[in-house]
């Protein structure tokens, strides 16, 4: 069994932890029962060797059980990011930062730096482990950072931190 101290800490906000717990509840209380019902129905068809419904249900069961284990691990290793620690001087997890891409001379964009489990680019939430997120950590307003991304090296200027 792995030593608990070697487990990767999962950084989340309070709302992010609540979402993980809600998802876990959904998998345990709803999805697990749905899969069990599908398995029972598939077994009733007989001859499991040629039973595609049974195979699909077994695959879904493996996925559901894997996701439950993953969620339980994330929740047990969760560390809440306190909003109280979030200052307005330096970029850290939980900070909202506005940057301008100097390389492409794009419009300024605003991101919130979050733990990897809460990252959602569509909501402008980027992971502290992403290239841009990790480069921004610890920086202050007006700093210019260089970020290596798949398209090359980009320069960003920090315009605002909140």
| pTM of the complete model | 0.63
- Ordered by where they begin, the domains of the chain are 4-80 (1.10.287.180), 84-161 (3.10.50.30)
Output the pLDDT for position 82. 62
Would you state the pLDDT for residue 67? 93
Residues 6+ apart with CB under 8 A from 131: 147, 148, 149
**pLDDT value, residue 98:** 93
At 161, is the secondary structure helix, strand, or coil? strand
**pLDDT for the residue 83:** 54
Following DSSP, what letter does each residue of 80-114 receive, concatenated? EPPGGG--SSB--TT-EEEEEETTTTPPPEEEEEE
Residues of the chain with pLDDT under 50: 1-5
4-13, pLDDT tens digit by residue? 445 677 777 7
**pLDDT one-digit tens code per residue, 116-135:** 888 888 999 999 889 999 89
Backbone angles phi, psi at 103, to 5 degrees: -65, -45
**SS3 category, 128:** coil
């Amino acid at each position: 069994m792995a030593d608990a101290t070697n487990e990767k800490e999962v950084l989340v906000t309070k709302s992010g932890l609540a979402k993980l717990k809600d998802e876990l509840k959904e998998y345990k209380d709803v999805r697990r029962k749905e899969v069990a019902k599908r398995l029972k129905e598939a077994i009733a068809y007989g001859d499991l060797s040629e039973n595609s419904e049974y195979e699909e249900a077994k695959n879904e069961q493996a996925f559901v059980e894997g996701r439950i284990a993953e969620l339980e691990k994330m929740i047990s290793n969760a560390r809440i990011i306190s909003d109280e620690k979030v200052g307005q001087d330096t970029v850290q997890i939980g900070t909202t930062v506005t940057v301008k891409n100097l390389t492409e001379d794009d419009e300024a964009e605003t991101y919130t730096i979050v733990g990897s489990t809460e990252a959602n680019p569509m909501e402008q939430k980027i992971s502290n482990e992403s290239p841009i997120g990790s480069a921004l950590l610890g920086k202050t307003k007006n700093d210019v950072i260089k970020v290596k991304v798949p398209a090359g090296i980009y320069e960003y200027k920090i315009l605002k931190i909140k």
